[in-house]
A and B are shown apart, each in its own frame.
Chain A
Amino acid sequence: MQTALSIAMDAFAYGMALFIICIGLSLTMGLMRVVNLAHGAFAMIGGYIASYVARDLGLGYGFAILLAMIGTVLIALPLERLLYRRIYDRSELSQVLMTIGITFCVIGITNYIFGPTLKTIPLPTGLAHPIDLGFRSIAGHRLFVIASGLVVAGGLWFLIERTGFGIHLRAAVENVAMARALGIRTEIIYAASFALAIALSAFGGVVGAEFLPIEPYYALRYMVTFLVVVSVGGAGSIGGALAACLLLGAIDVTGRYLMPEFGNFFFYLAVILVVCTFPRGLMGRARSHG
């Protein structure tokens, strides 16, 4: 029972960390129709910045998160203007190739600058210790990740479904030409959503560093995981991404606890089964691509 509970808590926290990183990718893929395999690379940049700020400059954890998000967005925006904007309406293969190329460049350059070692992000004392919940105590960091995940999910849902920006974004996704004709500046909308997705990935990279350690090949190692999660959930759906992260996180963590020698076997088996049964993902949007 104790094991089951601790596995469940770990799985839940891991799923939430995945969710924070992947929801940005889900947005770029579902709403902007870009298969951004470089998403993990931006999470990695966020992690490196946070590690530099927290460990080498000695600033607080909150500062590290904030600076990581701002720094990553500042790096990503020129890329959006120069590179991504040219592949918005190209084939999936071009998008995959371009973003794999960006990932390789990011890995090569960050390791050239920061050196090929594992980067740690020191946790503040409040999060490093276990917190007593009454029936059992769990690591404060796990609680923080779960809470952040819920806040992100709720905030995004509100932003997309209930605000003017969300309406403009959905209009631009639905029909770019018509949205432009109605005076919506779609380029700014796209850039803003891209920045939002990148900021979330940096945030997720930092808070999820306990589960997915920041290391030289981070962007490549988890590229497939992120892509798979989004595709299982159905691109562009917040609920779908949440469901996929929790499901796959649970399968992954349980498999690692109970049958570590199988590695990711069950994870990918589940992926194949889900994608074959729901080709559009668990809660994919019904309309077709393009």
Chain B
Amino acid sequence: MAEATIRSAAASRPGPLLRDLLGLGLIALGGLAGYLLFPDNLAFLTRLISVALLVLSLDLIVGYCGIASLGQAALYGAGAYTAGIACLNGVTEPFLLVLIGAAAGAMTGLLMGAVMLRAHGLPQLVLSIALVQLLHEAANKASWLTGGSDGLSGMVPAPLFGVFEFDLWGRSAYLFGLGLLLVVFAVLRLVVRSPFGMLCRGLKEDPLRISALGIYAFPVLLKMFVISGAVAGTGGALAAIATQVVGLDSVSFELSANALVMLVLGGIGHLYGALVGTVIFMALEHVVAAANPFHWMTLVGAVLIAIVLFAPRGLSGSLDQLAGLLTRQGGRAGR
């Protein structure tokens, strides 16, 4: 069946580069549509983009390396806090702030990977939780640096390109975020299709065979942790720049768990799935949780159970399956 899929894919689909350009165009189009349709909700949409970056980074670890993590917000929060602190200390150029956030996320990713890769399975999951909780407590305790439970506020990033200010309407913040998302997404497409990305997939599918090929898994996975940290840190820095507040919730178990739920909803191991899941989850949360937070929890719980039972590959995976089924049936009918 796998062979058939590959053959049909090779025959019917356009080249990968063209497909990526198409995908990027679709994302840009969707983003611009959001800009035009919901001009009053741009702050929410910017937050959505920053969380989408977090979910993308989680997908790199969960979907491409097969390492379950419930602590991804540690990387996101590290980026957010570092960018926020840098901004308060006089570095106000937004591009530089994003780079600082990404670097902080990458450093934290290095640390987190080094700790998490010592264990496998459940202990690994527990380590990820313990790490994010530890950072949470540290951020709470170091209130002279992070503002503690009040959060970090008062950042004033410089205008974008020296012209477009980050104002109350959040137009420049949103377009800045959309641009960031497009760049990161394009880079990640290249990363996951590179030999390195393939190696990570191999390690996920069959670690024994890869190690029999003479490859030592630890540095490969660690590298992915660093890349993932940079992406999550970028998302955190974007949140810090756009909202000009960094709270303790940016480095919390809840955010990590929500990110995992979004990823699973969209489909693990698809970059597009990560985006789709984030958009659906956050849009629903925006509507339902505002009405009644407990109904929202029941709904999320029911959706999770349904996904595990009926659609283990998430929405995008199910769509793929459906499409595969249809084309196969079509092929049979043709024969």
* Residues of chain B within 8 A of A100, CB atoms compared: 257, 261, 301, 304
Q: How large is the interface on A (under 10, 10 to 19, 20 to 34, 35 or more residues)?
A: 35 or more
- Which residues does chain B contribute within 8 Å of A35, judged by CB atoms? 122, 125
User: Least Cβ distance of B21 to chain A in Å?
Assistant: 32
User: Which residues of B lie under 8 Å from residue A93 when comparing CB positions?
Assistant: 62, 68, 268
Pair B130/A92 contact, Cβ less than 8 Å: no
Cβ-defined contact, B295 with A112, below 8 A: yes
Which of B119, B133, B268, B295 has a CB less than 8 Å from the CB of A224? B133
A-chain residues with CB within 8 Å of residue B312 when the two chains form the complex = 94
Judged by a CB distance under 8 angstroms, whether B165 is at the interface is no
Q: Which of B125, B137, B254, B301 contacts A92 (CB 8 A)?
A: B125
How many residue-residue contacts, CB under 8 A, span A and B? 130
Q: Are B304 and A227 in contact (CB under 8 A)?
A: no
Expressed in whole angstroms, the Cα–Cα distance for A220 and B261 within the complex equals: 15
- Within the assembled complex, what's the spacing in Å between the Cα atoms of A232 and B127? 10
Q: Are B304 and A98 in contact (CB under 8 A)?
A: yes
B298 to chain A, nearest CB (A): 3
When the two chains form their complex, are residues B126 and A228 in contact, meaning their CB atoms are under 8 A apart?
yes
| A105 contact set on B, CB distance < 8 A | 297-298, 301-302, 305
A227 to B260, CA, bound (A): 17
> How distant is A225 from chain B, measured CB to nearest CB, in Å?
10
Which residues of A sit under 8 angstroms from B122, Cβ to Cβ?
A: 29, 35, 92, 231, 235, 289
Complex Cα gap A18–B305 (Å): 27
Given A227-B129, A265-B134, A279-B118, is A97 in contact with B298 using a C-beta cutoff of 8 Å?
A: no
Q: Check A109 for interface membership: any CB of B closer than 8 A.
A: yes
Instruction: State the majority secondary structure of interface residues on A.
Output: helix
Q: Is A116 an interface residue (CB 8 A)?
A: yes
For residue B243, CB closer than 8 A to chain A, the reply is no
**Cα(A103)–Cα(B300), bound, Å:** 10
Binds B, one of A55-63, A142-150, A185-193, A267-275: A267-275
Docked Cα-Cα span, A271 to B128, in Å, equals 11
Q: Which residues of B contact A92 (CB under 8 A)?
A: 68, 121-122, 125
Chain B residues with CB under 8 Å of A265's CB are 134, 137-138, 141
Question: CB of B323 within 8 A of chain A?
Answer: no
Contacts of B121 in A (CB 8 A): 92, 289
Contact B303 A101 (CB under 8 A): yes
- Of all chain B residues, which has the CB nearest A281? B123
Contact B130 A228 (CB under 8 A): yes
Residues of A within 8 A of B133 (CB): 224, 264, 268
Q: Given the known A-B contacts A102-B305, A104-B300, A112-B295, are A276 and B118 also in contact in the complex, defined by CB atoms under 8 Å?
A: yes
Distance in angstroms from A222 CB to nearest chain B CB is 12
CB contacts (< 8 Å) of A231 on chain B: these are 122-123, 126
Bound-complex Cα distance A93 to B133 (A): 20
A43 within 8 A of B: no
- A109–B299 alpha-carbon span in the complex (Å): 10
Task: Check B307 for interface membership: any CB of A closer than 8 A.
Answer: yes
Chain A residues with CB under 8 A of B304: 97-98, 100-101, 104
- A83-98 contacts to B, CB under 8 A, are 83, 86-87, 90, 92-94, 96-98
Q: Within 8 Å of chain B (Cβ to Cβ): is A280?
A: yes
- A262–B137 CB distance below 8 A: yes
Closest-by-CB residue of A relative to B254 is A220
**Chain B nearest Cβ from A114, distance in angstroms:** 11
Give the contacts of B246-290 with A (CB-CB under 8 A): 253-254, 257, 260-261, 264, 268
B127 touches A276 (CB 8 A): yes
For the complex, give the distance between the alpha carbons of A93 and B137 in Å.
26
Contact for B298 among A104, A232, A261, CB less than 8 A: A104
| B294 interfacial by beta-carbon distance below 8 Å | yes
B309: nearest chain-A partner, CB-CB: A86
Listed by A's residue number, 22 A-B pairs whose Cβ atoms lie within 8 Å are A35-B122, A35-B125, A92-B68, A92-B125, A94-B308, A97-B261, A97-B308, A98-B308, A102-B301, A104-B301, A108-B299, A216-B294, A263-B141, A264-B133, A265-B134, A265-B137, A272-B115, A272-B127, A279-B119, A279-B120, A281-B123, A289-B121
Starting from the known contacts A94-B308, A271-B130, 5 additional A-B residue pairs (CB-CB under 8 Å) come to A96-B125, A105-B298, A263-B140, A265-B134, A281-B123
Q: What 7 pairs across the A-B complex have the smallest Cβ distances? A: A101-B304, A108-B298, A104-B301, A105-B301, A108-B297, A265-B137, A101-B305
